């Protein structure tokens, strides 16, 4: 039995359920994210990851259940919590007709970043994109755009970061750089990260712990190594496929007995 994590819980969902027209997109979903931990949220399309992320960001209200961040109920303390958190998604964009530095300056001011120009320059350097600051945001490549979004996500030195498929549509080289930067910043600043991805390489490299969702329910939870061992798989990709097809992972010996 694994030892209990003694680090501070910065995000917690208890029995979170979200129904759409009678269909449960999330079904009594519970988890804890600790300070300095990277938690991967995995599942096939429609498994409930996006719904979970949206509930956690306060964009969608749960049908039932409780959500807390930094020990406070999310909906009652939304603004206070969002000041200490940030978000980046492959599916959102910064206004395309503004220059990169203009977009970042606006968000730096929203988050009340002291000395915003210096902070932006530091983060652009960290993400290896200082040359992009005067470029038009809408003319960036997918890889450049992702890294600019990450600069925005790191602007306020968040204690809690939600990354929704940050390496989607990136080539392997850029995806690798993004993973390394996320891991570096996360370790240096002890950020708690909730990370969704369909790229299992991402998950294996970045996540300390993983939750697999299927039809809104948690079907499997643990470190990537524990999960692979449990399902006698060599990779998380195999586990992903098993869960997507069977809805659960069955230990190989048990499967043989059953057949």
Partner 1 sequence: MSFRIISALVLRYLFLYTRTPMRLVELVFWPLVDLVVWGNVTVFIQKNSDAQFGGFILFFLGAMILWDILFRAQQGVAISFLEDVWTRNLLNVFVAPVRTAEYLSATFAVGFLRILVTVVVMSLVSWIGYSFNIFQLQWWLLPFFLNLMVFGWALGMISTALILRWGQAAESLAWAVPFFIQPVVCVFYRVEDMPAWAQPIAWCFPATPIFEGMREVMVTGVMSWNHLWLAGGLNVIYLALAGWLFAWVLNLTRKRGLLTKFATQ
Sole binder of partner 1 in the list 15, 30, 64, 96 (CB under 8 A) = 96
Sole binder of partner 1 in the list 87, 154, 212, 240 (CB under 8 A) = 87
b (16+ CB within 10 A) / e for 5-33: eeeebbbbbeebbbeeeeebbbbebebbb
CA gap 228, 66 in Å, rounded: 30
Write out 79-126 in H/E/C secondary structure. HHHHHCEEEEECCCCCCCCCEHHHHHHHHHHHCCCCCHHHHHHHHHHH
**99: exposed, middle or buried (Cβ count in 10 Å: 0-12, 13-18, 19+):** middle
Among the listed ranges 46-54, 184-192, 195-203, 230-238, the one in contact with partner 1 (CB under 8 A) is 46-54
184 touches partner 1 (CB under 8 A): no
Does residue 139 sit in helix, strand or coil?
A: helix
23 touches partner 1 (CB under 8 A): no
Nearer to partner 1, 20 or 252 (CB): 20
Please state the closest distance from residue 6 (CB atom) to partner 1, in A.
Answer: 29
Sole binder of partner 1 in the list 49, 152, 179, 214 (CB under 8 A) = 152
Distances (CA, A) of 252 to 92, 157, 255: 40, 44, 5
Sole binder of partner 1 in the list 79, 256, 258, 259 (CB under 8 A) = 79
241 touches partner 1 (CB under 8 A): no
49 touches partner 1 (CB under 8 A): no
Sole binder of partner 1 in the list 17, 102, 226, 233 (CB under 8 A) = 102
146 touches partner 1 (CB under 8 A): no
Nearer to partner 1, 140 or 236 (CB): 140
Taking residue 63's Cβ as centre, other Cβ atoms within 10 Å add up to: 14
95 touches partner 1 (CB under 8 A): yes
Q: Which of 60, 63, 94, 51 is nearest to 78 (CA)?
A: 60
| Interacting residue ranges for partner 1, rule: CB under 8 A | 18, 20, 50-51, 54, 57-61, 79-80, 82-83, 85-87, 89, 91-99, 102-103, 105-107, 109-112, 152
């Amino acid at each position: 039995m694994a030892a209990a994590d003694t680090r501070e819980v910065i995000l917690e969902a208890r029995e979170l359920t979200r129904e759409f027209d009678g269909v449960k997109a999330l079904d009594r979903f519970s988890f804890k994210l600790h300070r300095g931990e990277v938690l991967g949220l995995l599942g096939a399309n429609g498994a409930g990851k996006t719904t979970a992320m949206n509930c956690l960001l306060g964009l969608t209200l749960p049908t039932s259940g409780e959500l807390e961040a930094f020990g406070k109920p999310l909906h009652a303390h939304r603004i206070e919590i969002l000041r200490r958190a940030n978000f980046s998604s492959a599916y959102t964009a910064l206004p395309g007709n503004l220059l990169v530095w203009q977009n970042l300056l606006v968000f730096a001011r929203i988050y009340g970043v002291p000395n915003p120009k210096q902070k932006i320059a530091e983060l652009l350097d960290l993400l290896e994109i200082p040359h992009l600051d005067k470029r038009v945001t809408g003319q960036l490549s997918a890889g450049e755009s992702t890294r600019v979004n990450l600069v925005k996500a790191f602007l306020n030195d968040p204690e809690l970061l939600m990354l929704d498929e940050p390496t989607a549509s990136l080539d392997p080289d850029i995806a690798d750089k993004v993973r390394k930067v996320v891991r570096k910043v996360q370790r240096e600043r002890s950020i708690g990260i909730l990370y969704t991805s369909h790229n299992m390489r991402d998950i294996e490299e970045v996540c300390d712990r993983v939750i697999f969702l299927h039809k809104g329910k948690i079907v499997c939870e643990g470190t990537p190594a524990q999960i692979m061992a449990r399902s006698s798989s060599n990779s998380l990709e195999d586990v992903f496929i098993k869960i997507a097809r069977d809805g659960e992972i069955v230990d190989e010996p048990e499967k043989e007995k059953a057949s």
